[in-house]
Structure 1
Amino acid sequence: MSSAELVALMLADGRLPTGGHTQSAGLEPAVRAGLGANGNQDIAAYARDRLRTVTRVDAAVATVARAVALANQSLSPVEAAWAARTPSQALRAASRRQGRAYLRLAARVWPAVLDHLTADTETARPVVVGAIGAVTGLSAEQVARLVGYDDAQTVVAASLKLLPVDPAEAAGWLAALHAPIEDLTSAAAGFTSPDEIPAYGAPLVDAFAQAHATERMRLFHA
């Protein structure tokens, strides 16, 4: 039997074939808009702000999806609640595309996920992560922490490609984000119903994503 801790580590590994390398967590359009012009510490602040807003929503969605899957109920209301709290069409499309990649992987590695989601469909990434958590024995805290860590790591990794950043300095930013990630984990782990999912927003992240979707030259999908 697989260890839940090892599953969590596997899902947090950027080398997993889920298309993580195509994502910047909105950093690329933010840099285009001027983020980082006053110093690279802006990047850490950006990641921290995401953890307080849009990432907290995704973490709550994932923990609710886990609880709903464990109860053998439909995940459609969770997907609908996520969509209602994600106003940017570009961000919804990016999440569903990555969710499809997670679902394809899960169908091969953890096929019990297909008891809860239809194979090879575009489903919001946090919903798929929650379903994987349910079938692999991850706790609500592990699922929420995974979502928070992955988002912060995505920002930090993208910064190395977008800006002149010392990798050791970037690792320091990620370490400094451990406390905000744990705050997110504590806030999101107790949710079990779609109605409980918070609706934190970050309007500039939405605006940047919409503009980025029409860029003809870009390093990242989103």
Structure 2
Amino acid sequence: MGSPELVAMMLADARLPTGGHTQSAGLEPAVRAGLGADGNKLAEVEQYARDRLRTVTRAEAGVAVVARHLTATVDQGLQALEAAWAARVPSHVLRSVARRQGRAYLRLATRVWPQVAEHLLADGEVPRPIVVGVVAAVNELSATQTARLIAYDDAQTVVAASLKLLPVDPADAACWLAALHPDIEELVVDVAGLTRAADVPAYGAPLIDVFAQNHSVERMRLFHA
């Protein structure tokens, strides 16, 4: 077991081989639907990331925080938590994406931190936020660190994807991410104290669900989701 701070940094590193490079957090189908207006309204990328932090990412962070709590304390209840997560993700496409990401994350986690296999099957299709929560518990990350990890990763995924999808200056992208820090911290405060599946936020973003569905049948795409 390493330093919780260093583990958190490692998990936030986009170079970690968990398939993060295949994800745009729904930005690609949003751009296809008009977001960014072919480079004329690039600031919409920052607002899109902010909207995610206030809705779907808040729910995901809540699930990760509760998974961390359950693993670190009672070591049961993850199945009920997964059911609560599924109820908050109405899109079967997004549920499938989260499980595929979770599978990749879990395969790596059980190699790097074998204790994870004491709580989750090494080859299981567990939603990514639950896997992150279990990894956080095994490495003694705090609830605050866990929530911040989920929030930062989502915002960073959007911003990084924008560099491949739109004519974005990398310095502008860095400015967008920095501008999202208060929103990330607001999310952290909102969910860090959660301990029960029933308390996980149930915010929705119907357009993100629609974008995901459309993207799943798109024949020409750069990102998986």
TM-score past 0.5 threshold:
yes
Residue of structure 2 equivalent to 1:33? 33
Give CA deviations for 1:60-116 in whole Å, capped at 9, x if unaligned: 000000011112113111111100100011111111101001100111011111111
CA contact (8 A) 1:75 1:116 kept: no
Q: In the comparison of the two structures, how many residue pairs are matched?
A: 222
The secondary structure found in structure 2 opposite 1:21 is helix
Residue of structure 2 equivalent to 1:68? 70
Stretch deviating more after TM superposition (146-155 or 65-74): 65-74
Show structure 1 runs of 5+ residues with no match: none
Distance 2:217 2:209 in 1: 13
Letter in 1 for 2:67: A
Letter in 2 for 1:20: G
CA contact (8 A) 1:75 1:117 kept: no
Q: Which TM-score applies when normalising by structure 2?
A: 0.97
Residue of structure 2 equivalent to 1:11? 11
Give CA deviations for 1:15-51 in whole Å, capped at 9, x if unaligned: 0000000000000000000000151000000000000
The structure 2 residue matched to 1:170, chosen from 160, 168, 173, is: 173
Letter in 2 for 1:56: R
Residue of structure 2 equivalent to 1:112? 115
- Identity among equivalent positions (%) equals 69
The structure 1 residue matched to 2:44, chosen from 17, 42, 45, is: 42
The secondary structure found in structure 1 opposite 2:220 is coil
Q: Which TM-score applies when normalising by structure 1?
A: 0.99
Letter in 1 for 2:27: L
The structure 2 residue matched to 1:180, chosen from 165, 175, 183, is: 183
Q: How does 1:60-209 map to 2 (within 5 A)?
A: 60-70=62-72, 71-209=74-212
- Residue 218 of structure 1 deviates from its aligned partner by 0.4
The structure 1 residue matched to 2:218, chosen from 197, 215, 220, is: 215
